[in-house]
Amino acid sequence: MELNDEQFNAISSEIIKKAGLFKCPVCGQNAGYNFAPTEFHVLAGERDSNGTGLSFGGQSTFLRVVAATCPHCAHISFFNLVRLEKNIAGEK
């Protein structure tokens, strides 16, 4: 899902406020990550009966995240969107 400009600006500002220009854990670059203006979902499922794949037949859970990519090595970091939205709203 694409974030609108207001959402994207608030979320990226909150990340920078809390984390600053952090170093990439892979290459050590600290020139700033590229934030994607998109909401992604990290999906959790159950292993199938063979244990070789995922089964999504029942209820599955997911984590709403935004992604930031290192401009040097392309490492991707995810940030919990629900937590960021609560921080922006002033909730604990």
Q: What is the pLDDT of residue 60?
A: 67
Backbone angles phi, psi at 50, to 5 degrees: -85, -15
What average pLDDT is seen over the chain? 87
Confidence (pLDDT) at 7: 94
Predicted local confidence at residue 43, as pLDDT: 82
pLDDT band, very low/low/confident/very high, at 74 (cuts 50, 70, 90)? very high
Q: What is the mean pLDDT of residues 62-66?
A: 92
Domain boundaries along the sequence of the chain: 5-89
